[in-house]
Chains A and B, each alone.
Chain A
Amino acid sequence: MIRLATDVGGTFTDLVGYDERSGELFTAKSLTTVDDQSRGVLDAIAMSEARDGLRTRDVTFFAHGGTTVINAITERKGVRTALVTTAGFRDVLEIGRGNRPDLYNLQFHSPEPFVPRHLRFEVRERVDASGNVRIPIELGDLQPIVRQCREQGVKAVAVLFLHSYANPQHERLCAEALAKALPDTTVCASHDVSRQWREYERSNTVVLNAYVQPIIRRYFERLEEELRRRDLTCPYYAMQSNGGISTFDQATQSPLTLVESGPAGGIAGAARIGSALGESEVLSLDVGGTTAKCSLIHDSRPTLNAEYRLEHTRIQPGHAVQVPVVDIVEIGSGGGSIAWIDERGALRVGPESAGSTPGPACYGRDGTKPTLSDAILTVGIFDPANFAGGTMALDKGKAAKAIATVAKPLGMSVEDAALAIIEIAHANMINALKLVTVQRGHDPRDAAFVISGGAGPALAARLGRDLSVKATVVPPHPGIFSAWGMLAAEPRADFRSTWFSPLAVETIAEIVRRFSALEEEAIAYFGKGRDAEVQFTYLVEARYRGQEHGVFAAFGTDDESESFAARFHAAHEKAYSFRLPGAPIEITTLHLEALLKGPVIALPNLPASGRSMAVARTGSRAVYFGAGEGWVVCPVLDRNLLPPGATLAGPVIVEEPTATTLVLSDQVMEMTENGILVIRETKWAD
């Protein structure tokens, strides 16, 4: 009875397997195969077969996360896609929102749309905001469109009509007619992907969904075929961006839900760690090679981003899409982030990264620029001889030489410059972590801080201290945590629909009625019948009359209008620091979260045998703490030999194959019975 997860990242494909009978975990890492990611997945499986004796026929659950969807989009490698839309509106997709976030750039352009103008077609029809048909659809308009699609070699057609969230009838008729006329072409109607208003965002959503659907279908078909050939036949699941999983078939229907598949795995894992520790509020940070990603788990559930945008930056509007994506704040500070001196003489870290080639200078692969990893090595946290489980030697000399290139112009010693690089990356991370907590009304003091990624645990203790979190947590296998997290994810579906109504006593019954209709959809979606254990969470987006943007507040089926109003006022105050008690409230969106409950990865207690403080102690190393404290000799311990229940006072270094954790003085680290590292302050500074 093996549960298996594979996570395809930019450089490596990670595999984590969990034997439900023995409680044992095994891992494998293969190189990502860029042209066809399934080969890397099969390579990792083959490795586990050879090394850990994995028998594929014992696998009862297979979860898969990857970058196929986001790569197809960012590399513009989707299929030739057409758009059919309401007459008069074919340019909506290209106009976008027309904003210029790059305010002072007099040569600014909006991003290119994914469908060129000559493949955007119009059909006469019109539905109004209440869902009433003003102009019946002229299906005859489709004839020349179908002809053009054939001539132009179109492989997917997206359909968007105005107000289809209120009445999808025209879209449905149009999509059916197109599917009949173009049997080999993917046809997606917007209401099947999103039932939210805002025509540009919904257009973009359905267009991108259509653009990647043939690719993801082929990918899953090939992967399934190969897995079957290797006798790995079990339900196959894809990691979705909402922190849950779906079957391959469900994911093929709305592939855009896979857009942030990898990071969502880590967040599902952080939620699982939180529940193992009995913590419902979890702040997660994953420090990768190029970026750090943070996210908040509130009430044991990942927070979703209401306005997710692909390729969005401070100066680029990006592509807004309406799919449920965990709310991730990503910053350009990772292990490979390059430190540099800007034109004003100030020290900066990132967003440029040395990536995996050439990688940090200390990798000795011709990288010459100083990176965050070089700085961590230079101050003594990483062991040059025992990095990545001893599989890779780090070159301290090359790291120091690279750091000297910024130390010299700053007039600093190499170790002070290294510490300055860490300090700046640290401050960037703190700003991002505050953005998902304090600035959204959540107190980090209530949260467990789960930190993962190769470079994360090295920085964990200081970040946790500066944020005053309840506890800083280094989960098992922090270096392949996304894959681990996929074993913690449950099948999940989100149903969001725009529904506009003032909040009044009689509104509640209608909300309840609409939610039960959505529940029926969820039960049908999972296809496990009425007896399946499905956990529903009801969220209602509301706003004060006159406002545009709403705030989500929890809704209970036993709510009265006053009790819901009270919860909305509190949610508004939490998010924006004020409430307007007398103002009328309007409902804008209903959101149903549905989780199909099932077994997830357990965290069994560690065996005590073979583990002790004495065997865990592998040596000691001096770490530089700045001009005041200087170099301090810290004991080094091997995490995999630490006995359950062990406690250690900082400063101390704990090593494991995928990461190195530094614990500071006035902190104590506990190895829990089930193998989680928890760092707490022994005395609070303020």
Chain B
Amino acid sequence: MKRQPTTDPGRASADGSQSPARLETVPDSSSSQWWRALEEGRVLVQQCLACGRSFFYPRPLCPHCHATELEWRDIAGGGTIHAATVVHQPTPIFAGDDPYPVALVDLDEGARMLLRVDEAPAGRPLIGSRVQIATVETAHGPHPRAVYAPDQIGADQQTAPEAQQP
């Protein structure tokens, strides 16, 4: 998936207010590559060349089989909501956004991400619903967001097997 960063409608500087600073990151050889790709509008996961499974967040070894031969992959963008909440009492930096939905999303590639959900119907997003992951320009820089896409047919409607590994 390669897509240009789009403007988050909820974040447009309609009131001309100053954007908060970008959130702090922890750069190292794994994370820096992910952040660089994100600046280009790409969302990466890592795939293990030994066991074939994908995982997120970035690190220098596969958390499933512990092999170190890994490959970066652009995600296709499709995912399924695994668990969901609506935040009513955010930490101070997100005060004023609330209430907003946040979900654990199982990517079709198998990795799991924690994402805000845009364009969800009122209330808690439905578990099992399809979403499309897109890079959105937020007040804190480009970040991946899930966009509700209930009509989309997923490659695999089931919970990703990787996410179930004990």
Do the two chains bind? no
